[in-house]
């Protein structure tokens, strides 16, 4: 509370005497006040509760967007003398209606946190030394140059952040490109990368199809691997409203979550068996002929293959795999096909929602595909209240994903082909001269091939790129020698023991974050670490995209505190030192927005800063039911101009794939994205088995002149107004895929987790074959699954699964530094069933060890019926202890978080999604015993 | 005549802790003391419910009756306040209160240290922990920021219709499915 103590002191100095207090109470004062630091001069110096009324002189109320989850709640920061002294609700914010959870309401405390990193620090001779920004940046830039010239550009790993603004995310990807490497990645890899792959390979876009507010219209809301009450609290406002209107709310989860407590029905299933559950539902629906045959015939592809696979999942088979009784499954399938009338009557539809419970699996991509197919089976897509709602994690993880701080793509999912590079180099060239050949020359060659087109390392396994062991050799010219941890919590990545070794092995480790985090403290090394204080998201301007593709402008609340700098400034300074500063020098964040507006054509992020700011100003005009402005300067627009937003007049697309409204009013269709290159011709995209991928009455993607072709993705100066006026969707009108012929499993197929409690099912549903090169590193599947087949009989009988606490966020460095949140949630624990506790002689809140093949964690035992006697649950926000040993003395002085705990990612399994390299955190075998 | 109250639609409370944190932030309530706290019953089993508990500003406050030094007083608008100057920290109000709302903070620092052991509780955001400012129209921040709008706070005439609607329709929705 360093800075805010100022206001506390002020109030204590002139504080009214204890005696006068009662008198004043009786008298009352002129107006409402916030109660913070407004005491002192006179009773008139008063703060006002809502934006509608004028604040006191010298006090500003500034609109901002919460930095925690991807709901994108708004609030007003109370700014006094340049200090954020508190919050006021933003009651007409279309998404949150003023609501915020404990993390959001702690924002003022977090901005002013006394444990923030206050200046650049360098570890020298085992001690932390304060250095200047110039020294720090010079040293880092020189090291970058030295590593690039000695080992090549791929020997630096750039780990970016979903906590940056869209503008900074975009620049971060561009920054990696100018550094000549695709070794750049961020949290989306370990959060929803499987959602993007799964959804994009089914629907054609990889994002949440509907929106938070839209769930109010659902007849049935089905959570599978999502605990919104913990991870997206304010979204529950809309879900509970739907329930109040008569919707059925069903939660399927290995754990009886806080969301499950408020649901109409809770279904417990075994972690890692989502596909069996969903395919079982699909099968029962098909068997009973409840599916939507019109939708499938008109807009679907590959249904027969899907039906054939689904037929294997009879209710009895599903019961054996998932723990869900056959009768319950049948009822669930019936409910899914017949959602209660709720609000929409006969047109009632259902939506499915998930988060990391579904994504973080070795079969994550196929989990998501199964959800999308289940939704398509009933035609619940492109309709209010329907769709597939992926609840994303960070405030701007959707934006960071769209900007593709990802090792396999350039911004807007263009990929890494020469064509993609030429498109983006064309965009960058408009800001400062650069050619494709110049760009290509920055990249190294490996095995006779330019690495410009080769997917880079991912943040889920970046450490293997450093360690370069015989078991997991890295497929690039040299191993990683330097790593940037830029706004990323390392304790959210699994295999932390290996990561710790890697952090000890790199020549220089650079942390950039408002907090020192374990980037500073995890490695056992006397030197070779520099940490830079980045400003928080509230200390800069920029846009952020929430999970519903709604883009909002976030204003600066306060200037960067202490000696912190914005991520943009740090990038620009490094770029200047590395010789390409012109490409990173902008007059304002808005200039960066306009630059990516030009290039982000695949998803049409053409939301100009002016339009976003206008929406912020007139937010009260947007309705809570559909987020559309019915009147005022933004009339007709949808809040946040959800992409695709085709041009400067387009209102945004609130529901993806909705083809019963004009494109100009937010209509959309399945892209004609999937086509077999050898057989397809312009205008006639076909699948690998020769089936047309055009919807009934559909058409191929278009050039600006109306001819079939991919011009809509590359013609930078076209706004496609003519085509949209003819009610044609420039991205085409194609089919969604039940059968995805480019994935390891064409149709979602149950595969047992790497570590499973059922050896018999491993034989029946084995995992994938090992892969020699998975994002530059070999990846083991079958080998390790076979080696560990009998873990359940070898002392590891319990399933370990992980998840979130409402009070903490991500790796928790920020929230564990906040007094209020630490008071609510002070220690790391493992939830164990009373039976488990009884069997090992442990009482509630005793210390226990939770051990897996990777290591063990010392945590409190939280004895609860939330988990059954075969499951253990641990939250993943904790760090600072390592296998029971506190590392508190390793932080730079005064920067250690207020609450530390052992990290569950030390012990999570070493399994990775076969498509996206997502880490498995939700299913492995463990044992628990008394400390 | 305005009367201020809290009402909780407990079918909507998700125990997000927003009320707790914004109360701390607004009223500068020290660590270890809570003016509002969420109590969970039946945790982990069907029937689990969360209830935000704070001073309910009772119409006939038992704390007021129990106070031996007349430190507790109800304003005309219903807000129950304690005069921290008069309070002797005896704890009788804590015994009298059906909700356990009165807190007797300890281990306090800075400006708050003067109030070691002196009763503190919700004031509908009329005054922070260290008293010194008053407010004519109480604006309870916990209700304003409530993430699911389960906590209603303010003029009873305004919040009661909201409460009745939420509550009645929730009950109907439940009964249909039982």
Per-residue pLDDT tens digits for A853-884: 999 999 999 999 999 999 999 999 999 999 99
Write down the pLDDT at residue A919: 96
- Check pLDDT > 60 for residue A754: yes
Using an 8 Å Cβ cutoff, are A754 and A762 in contact?
Answer: no
Window 109-128 of B, Cβ < 8 Å to A: 110-111, 114, 125-128
Query: Average pLDDT in the A363-372 region?
Result: 96
Distance from CA of B19 to the nearest CA of A (A): 7
> A410-421 pLDDT, tens per residue?
999 999 999 999
| A441 in B contact zone (CB under 8 Å) | no
pLDDT band at residue A341 under the 50/70/90 scheme: confident
pLDDT of residue A55: 65
pLDDT value of residue A254: 96
pLDDT on residue A342: 78
**Are residues B18 and A43, on separate chains, in Cβ contact within 8 Å?**
no
Which residues in A lie closer than 8 A to residue B48 (C-beta atoms)?
256, 258, 261
The DSSP output letter for A416 is: S
Decide if pLDDT at A20 tops 50: no
| Shortest Cα distance, chain A CAs vs residue B159, angstroms | 16
Confidence of residue A345 (pLDDT cuts 50, 70, 90): confident
Mean pLDDT calculated for residue range B141-165: 93
- Residue A300 · residue A376 · CB < 8 Å: yes
With a cut of 90, say whether residue A26 has pLDDT above it: no
A588 burial class (0-12, 13-18, 19+ CB within 10 angstroms)? exposed
Cβ B52 vs Cβ B8: under 8 Å: yes
Please work out, in degrees rounded to the nearest 5, the angle formed at the alpha carbon of residue A210 by the alpha carbons of A204 and A211: 140
Which positions in chain B touch A99 (Cβ < 8 Å)? Answer: 18, 145-149
Q: List, as ranges, residues 81-120 from A with C-beta within 8 Å of B.
A: 86-87, 89, 91, 96-106, 108-109
Out of A35, A103, A236, the one facing B125 most closely (by C-beta) is A35
pLDDT over 50 at A57, yes or no = yes
Interchain CB contact of A15 with B (< 8 Å): yes
Average pLDDT for residues A754-774, to the nearest whole number? 96
CB-hemisphere CA count at 13 Å for A163?
Answer: 26
Residues A858, A841: Cα–Cα separation, whole Å: 16
> Chain B: residue nearest A236 by CA?
B148
For residues A498 and A490, give the distance between their C-alpha atoms in angstroms, rounded to a whole number: 12
Q: What is the pLDDT of residues A471-511, one digit of tens each?
A: 999 999 999 999 999 999 999 999 999 999 999 999 999 99
pLDDT in tens, A261-275: 999 999 999 999 999
- Axis crossing angle, helix A274-287 with helix A303-310, rounded to the nearest 10: 110
Mean pLDDT, chain A, integer: 92
Is B111 in contact with A256 (Cβ distance < 8 A)? no
Q: How far is A93 from chain B (nearest CA, A)?
A: 12
> Mean of the pLDDT values across residues A806-810?
94
The pLDDT of residue A8 is above 50? no
Domains of chain A from N-terminus onward: 4-100 (no CATH), 121-191+398-607 (3.40.50.740), 193-391 (3.40.228.10), 644-738 (no CATH), 759-930 (2.40.40.20)
pLDDT band at B134 (very low <50, low <70, confident <90, very high): low
Confidence category of residue B135, pLDDT binned at 50, 70, 90: low
For the residues A369-387, what does the mean pLDDT come to? 96
Residue A158, H or E segment = strand A156-159
Q: Which residues of A touch B44 (CB under 8 A)?
A: 256, 864-867
- Rounded Cα distance, A640 and A887, in Å: 43
Give the residue ranges of DSSP H helices in A825-914.
Answer: 834-840
Closest residue in chain A to residue B129, using alpha carbons only: A35
CA distance A256 to chain B (A): 6
Q: Is residue A1 within 8 angstroms of chain B, CB to CB? A: no
Q: Which pLDDT tens digit goes with each residue over A602-632?
A: 999 999 999 999 999 999 999 999 999 999 9
Of A5, A32, A233, nearest to B135 by CB-CB distance is A32
Hey, is A319 helix, strand or coil?
helix
Instruction: Evaluate if residue A463 carries a pLDDT over 70.
Output: yes
Of A21, A35, A228, Cβ closest to residue B27: A35
The shortest C-alpha distance from B98 to chain A (Å) reads 23
The answer for residues whose C-beta is within 8 angstroms of residue A433's C-beta and 6 or more apart is: none
pLDDT digits (tens, 9 = 90+) for B85-133: 999 999 999 999 999 999 999 999 998 999 999 999 999 999 899 987 6
pLDDT, position B136: 62
Span A131-144, pLDDT tens digits: 999 999 999 999 99
Cβ distance A16 to B144 less than 8 Å, yes or no, reads no
- Kindly list the residues from chain B whose CB atom is less than 8 angstroms away from the CB atom of residue A233: 14, 16, 18, 147-148
- What is the mean predicted confidence (pLDDT) over A637-644? 95
If pLDDT is split at 50, 70 and 90, which confidence band does B171 have?
low
- Supply the pLDDT for residue B1: 75
Work out the minimum CA distance from B101 to partner chain A, whole angstroms.
17
Tell me if A104 and B15 make a contact (CB, 8 A cut-off): no
Rounded distance, CA A53 to CA A37, Å? 19
How much is the mean pLDDT over chain B?
A: 90
Check: CB of residue A342 under 8 Å from CB of residue A241.
Answer: no
pLDDT tens-digit profile of B63-77? 999 999 999 999 999
Asked if B127 and A821 come within 8 Å (Cβ–Cβ), the reply is no
CB contacts of B128 in chain A (<8 Å) are 11, 35-36, 39
Q: Which residues contact A249 (CB under 8 A, 6 or more apart)?
A: A220, A221, A223, A239, A240, A242, A243, A262, A263, A264, A265
How confident is the model over A181-199, as a mean pLDDT?
Answer: 95
Q: Return the pLDDT at A44.
A: 29
What does the pLDDT read at residue B138?
81
Put simply, the answer to whether A39 touches B135 (Cβ < 8 Å) is no
Position A11 pLDDT exceeds 60: no
pLDDT value of position A46:
33
Compute the count of residue pairs across chains A and B with CB atoms less than 8 Å apart.
207
Could you give all domains of chain B from N- to C-terminal order, each with its CATH number? 4-177 (3.30.70.20)
The pLDDT value recorded for residue A6 is: 35
pLDDT at residue number B167: 79
* DSSP letter (8 states) at residue A546: -
Average pLDDT of A572-589? Answer: 96
d(CA A930, CA A846): 8
Q: Determine the Cα–Cα distance for residues A584 and A360; give it in Å rounded to an integer.
A: 35
**DSSP β-ladder status, A901-902 and A880-882:** parallel
Chain B closest CA to A361's CA: distance in Å? 25
Kindly determine whether residue B144 and residue A91, on different chains, have CB atoms separated by under 8 Å.
yes
Question: Which class for A42: exposed (0-12), middle (13-18), buried (19 or more C-beta within 10 A)?
Answer: exposed
Residues 832-871 of A with CB under 8 A from B: 864-867
- Looking at the partner chain, which of A11, A246, A256 has a beta carbon nearest the beta carbon of B132? A11
Å between A110 CA and nearest CA of chain B: 11
pLDDT in tens, A290-304: 999 999 999 999 999
The answer to whether the complex's ipTM is over 0.85 is yes
Per-residue pLDDT at A556 exceeds 90 = yes
Q: Which residue of B has its CA nearest to A74?
A: B145
pLDDT band at B170 (very low <50, low <70, confident <90, very high): low
pLDDT, tens digit, 9 for 90 and up, residues A899-919: 999 999 999 999 999 999 999
Question: Is the pLDDT confidence value at A17 over 50?
Answer: no
Which value, to the nearest 10 degrees, does the dihedral of the CA atoms of residues A821, A826, A827, A828 take? -10
Closest-CA distance, A106 to chain B, in angstroms, reads 6
**β-pairing verdict for A445-446 and A449-450:** antiparallel
Among B21, B28, B177, beta carbon nearest to A102: B21
Our CA angle for A865, A871, A876, nearest 5°, is: 95
């Amino acid at each position: 509370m360093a800075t805010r103590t100022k206001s506390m002191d002020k109030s204590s100095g002139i504080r009214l005497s204890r005696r006068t207090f009662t008198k004043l109470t009786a008298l009352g004062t002129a107006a409402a006040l916030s109660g913070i630091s407004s005491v002192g001069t006179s009773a008139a110096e008063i703060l006002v509760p809502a934006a509608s009324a004028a604040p006191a002189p010298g006090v500003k109320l500034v609109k901002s967007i919460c930095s925690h989850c991807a709901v994108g709640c708004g609030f007003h920061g109370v700014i006094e003398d340049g200090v954020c002294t508190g919050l006021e609700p933003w009651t007409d914010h279309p998404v949150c209606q003023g609501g915020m959870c404990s993390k959001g309401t702690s924002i003022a405390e977090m901005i002013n946190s006394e444990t923030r990193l206050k200046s650049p620090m360098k570890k020298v001779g085992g001690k932390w030394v304060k250095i200047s920004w110039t020294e720090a940046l010079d040293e880092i830039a020189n090291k970058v140059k030295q590593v690039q010239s000695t080992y090549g550009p791929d020997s630096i790993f750039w780990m970016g952040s979903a906590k940056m603004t869209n503008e900074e995310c975009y620049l971060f990807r561009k920054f990696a490109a100018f550094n000549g490497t695709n070794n750049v990645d961020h949290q989306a890899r370990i959060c929803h990368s499987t959602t993007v792959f799964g959804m994009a390979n089914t629907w054609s876009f990889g994002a949440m199809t509907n929106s938070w507010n839209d769930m109010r219209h659902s007849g049935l809301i089905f959570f599978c691997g999502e605990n919104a009450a913990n991870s997206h609290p304010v979204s529950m406002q809309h879900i509970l409203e739907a329930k109040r209107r008569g919707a059925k709310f069903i939660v399927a989860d290995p754990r009886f979550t806080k969301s499950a407590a408020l649901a109409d029905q809770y279904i417990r299933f075994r972690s890692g068996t989502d596909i069996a559950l969903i395919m079982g539902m699909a099968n029962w629906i098909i068997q009973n002929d409840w599916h939507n045959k019109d939708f499938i015939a008109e807009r679907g592809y590959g249904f027969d293959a899907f039906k054939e696979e689904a037929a294997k999942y009879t209710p009895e088979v599903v019961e054996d795999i998932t723990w869900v009784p056959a009768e319950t499954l049948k009822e669930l399938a019936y409910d899914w096909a017949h959602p209660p009338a709720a609000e929409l009557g006969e047109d009632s539809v259902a939506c499915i929602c998930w988060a990391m419970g579904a994504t973080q699996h070795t079969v994550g991509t196929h989990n998501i595909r199964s959800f999308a197919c289940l939704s398509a089976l009933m035609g619940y897509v492109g309709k209010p209240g329907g769709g597939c709602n992926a609840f994303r994690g960070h405030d701007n993880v959707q934006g960071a994903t769209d900007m593709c701080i990802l090792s396999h793509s350039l911004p807007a999912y263009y990929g890494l082909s020469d064509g993609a590079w030429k498109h983006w180099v064309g965009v960058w060239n408009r800001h400062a001269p650069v050619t494709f050949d110049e760009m290509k020359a920055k990249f190294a060659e490996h095995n006779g091939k330019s690495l410009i087109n080769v997917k880079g390392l991912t943040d889920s396994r970046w450490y293997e790129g450093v360690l370069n062991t015989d078991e997991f050799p890295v497929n690039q010219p040299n191993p990683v020698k330097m790593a940037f941890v830029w706004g990323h919590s390392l304790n959210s990545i699994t295999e932390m023991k290996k990561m710790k070794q890697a952090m000890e092995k790199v020549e220089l480790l650079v942390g950039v974050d408002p907090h020192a985090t374990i980037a500073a403290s995890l490695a056992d090394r006397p030197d070779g670490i520099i940490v830079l204080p980045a400003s928080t998201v509230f200390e800069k301007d920029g846009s952020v995209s929430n999970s519903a593709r709604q883009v909002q402008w976030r204003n600066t609340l306060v200037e960067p505190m202490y000696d912190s700098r914005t991520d943009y400034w740090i990038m620009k300074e490094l770029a200047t030192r590395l010789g390409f500063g012109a490409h990173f020098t902008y007059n304002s964040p808005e200039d960066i927005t306009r630059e990516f507006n030009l290039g982000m054509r695949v998803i049409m992020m053409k939301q100009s800063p002016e339009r976003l700011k206008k929406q912020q100003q007139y937010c009260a005009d947007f309705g809570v039911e559909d987020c559309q402005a019915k009147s005022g300067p933004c009339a007709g627009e949808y809040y946040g101009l959800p992409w695709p937003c085709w041009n400067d007049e387009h209102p945004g697309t609130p529901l993806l794939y909705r083809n019963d409204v004009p494109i100009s009013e937010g209509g959309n269709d399945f892209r004609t994205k999937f086509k077999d290159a050898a057989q397809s011709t312009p205008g006639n995209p076909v699948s690998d088995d020769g089936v047309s991928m055009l919807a009934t009455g559909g058409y191929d993607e278009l050039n600006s002149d109306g001819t079939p072709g991919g011009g809509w993705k590359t013609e930078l100066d076209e706004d496609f107004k003519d085509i949209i006026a003819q009610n044609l969707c420039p991205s085409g009108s194609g089919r969604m895929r039940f059968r995805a012929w480019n994935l390891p499993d064409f149709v979602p197929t149950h595969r047992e987790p790497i570590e499973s409690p059922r050896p018999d099912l491993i034989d029946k549903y084995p995992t994938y074959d090992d892969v020699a090169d998975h994002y530059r590193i070999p990846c083991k599947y079958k080998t390790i699954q076979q080696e560990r087949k009998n873990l359940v009989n070898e002392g590891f009988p319990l399933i370990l699964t992980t998840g979130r606490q409402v009070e903490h966020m991500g790796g928790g460095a920020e929230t564990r530094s906040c007094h209020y949140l630490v008071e609510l949630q002070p220690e790391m624990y493992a939830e164990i069933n009373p039976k488990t506790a009884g069997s090992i002689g442990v009482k509630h809140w005793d210390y226990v060890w939770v051990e897996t093949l990777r290591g063990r964690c010392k945590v409190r035992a939280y004895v609860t019926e939330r988990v059954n006697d075969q499951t253990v649950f641990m939250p993943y926000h904790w760090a600072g202890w390592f296998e029971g040993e506190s590392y508190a003395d390793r932080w730079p002085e005064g920067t250690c978080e207020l609450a530390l705990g052992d990290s569950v990612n030390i012990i999570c399994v070493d399994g990775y999604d076969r498509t996206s390299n997502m880490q498995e955190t939700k299913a492995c075998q463990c044992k628990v015993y008394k400390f | 005549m305005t009367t201020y109250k809290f009402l909780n639609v407990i079918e909507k409370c998700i125990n997000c802790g927003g009320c707790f944190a914004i109360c701390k932030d607004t009223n500068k309530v020290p660590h270890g003391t809570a003016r509002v706290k969420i109590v969970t019953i039946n945790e982990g089993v069907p029937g689990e419910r969360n209830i935000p508990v704070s001073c309910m500003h009772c119409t006939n406050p038992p704390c007021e009756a129990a106070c031996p030094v007349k430190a507790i007083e109800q304003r005309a608008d219903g807000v129950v306040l304690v005069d921290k100057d008069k309070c002797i920290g005896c704890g009788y109000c804590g015994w009298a209160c059906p909700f356990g709302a009165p807190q007797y903070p300890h281990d306090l620092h800075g400006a708050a240290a003067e109030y070691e052991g002196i009763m503190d509780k919700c004031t509908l955001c009329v005054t922070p922990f260290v008293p010194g400012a008053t407010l004519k129209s109480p604006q309870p921040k916990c209700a304003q920021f409530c993430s699911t709008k389960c906590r209603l706070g303010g003029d009873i005439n305004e919040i009661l219709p909201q409460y009745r609607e939420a509550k009645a329709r929730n009950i109907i929705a439940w009964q249909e499915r039982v």
